[in-house]
Structure 1
């Protein structure tokens, strides 16, 4: 699927803001002509999460076709019955297919179609043609379907913002630790959250990601090692042995890897969206595809870590040998658009950092860290809410 436009991201952001699960499809001109669409891995996952259909348990052939009630909502606010056909043909290894009756009457090739599950049927909305937050007010059928969902987490947000505002009101607070973890550790301590294996802990299901406000171009999202079972290299040690370099007394590999070009170590990312794989490839033919991630594993890591996140900015200053930290603002996000992971990796707006080092004692790996270019943050985390902890919500 292609990368979403700003308009489409705004629409998906509207859905995620209110906790609505969804599946995305992009019909092609060929598909519209043949009345067929590929049921992508993401779309199959949506059907499975909602207990609508399990393609893995479905046989091949027309006789195994499964039909689900569905309605397409047009841009004019009309609900048109368009039942979904879910099947696996006998040809082409039984690749999963989906089609909505007479769909070619209601959309164009390249449109992004959103599927929602409610009232025992699939509802199809056109995220390319309709602004959801407007029709949710002006159209009765959209309003009934998209009515904002009130959840208990809203009270958690208010509670947490109150605690952070009180913390900010104290001004600069002396740090307890040094280095990159000092901000997160201080936040954890001041909020009375028990330390655990996560670098920055959760608060009642909200991920807290605190950092110094710096003029850096990227933001760390999560760490995920490759799938060693399907990788040519089988460990961080092997990656280091093939691509590392001497620095002082250490042998290390600290570098950023992007899909746009080979870096100085001869490494580049390659997205195989059809196979659902991300490869790190070398420009050395004898190495080729060094390691591989499953894209759905990256999506799972992103969605599980950042279902609800407070990205907390702090400023710091030094007095003598002590660092003092002041928590200033929060960017609040809900449910990233995981379908953007593959196209953003391919576009180079999501990159990966290696942080591998070998000392005389051992090999340590702090990553690989997947990062997003801050200019494209809203493409993955739509409609963030900004809070100035000294003035309230912006």
Structure 2
């Protein structure tokens, strides 16, 4: 059984200016960085087919081992704020977070790579992970990415994709023919590949829309279940900036600069599935005409360095859910949960515990 509320993690080494992750050309690099987001959070896999350890081993093989850091989404920044519910989702879920109340939130923005020294331009994806802590003590944890759909539908296909993207020992780089062959045999990836063709690295975490990709169930007081997906949509369309010329690290400074002018806000938009919509397949999108409920506003008002900030101690397991929210039958959810639990166990034993500071880099209260 996976431990849902693990003890505080050990100190992570500071981010530095070490070797940068090489920039792959074409679809290959975009696909692998999106696909490895599968390993973001911890749970259960059938050990006779694929184990969490093998998934994490694959990440380490492809990205290198960086002691003390997360095996994926290893470069990021801690954030904090609150969620202001408007009560619109309360008819669908008994979760306290959806009642007309304010819930404290801790979270993390990150770059979906396994190398903490990657330049911010290395991949087109950005991620948002959040922990909502209800007044009754129950938590809701969620990991989201700035992409509309996942490339594959099963953990086994994801592992095959990782293998296709593994560096060739002779060159140190992936063989571009292997991912091409993989996608030729996995037509379910068509929607993802269509998105990849237009994806470009954003210059700001603040301008991105972050989606759950996987489906979940909302359960109301009467026991009725509603399949949903959700996304965080930036409020007031914040100004889109261009990456600074030749800059390696610009996402965190941009975030601090924006927070110096006031809090940042995202609306939590929940899409309601209809009968027949694919609930257990993250590679398939739902029709655009589905009903969408605005459940409230996420407000981010402060940051902390990830090496000693509050988010360092959080396992953003997507199956840590309060009463009123449940995971769907999507096999990727259990895989995400299990792989991150394995990653968590490794990184917490790699460095000595050091004094932890809590002073934020920037803080602006609303």
Q: TM-score, normalised by structure 1?
A: 0.24
The structure richer in strand per residue is 1
Q: Which has the higher contact order (CA 8 A, sep 6+)?
A: 2
Higher Rg of the two aligned structures: 1
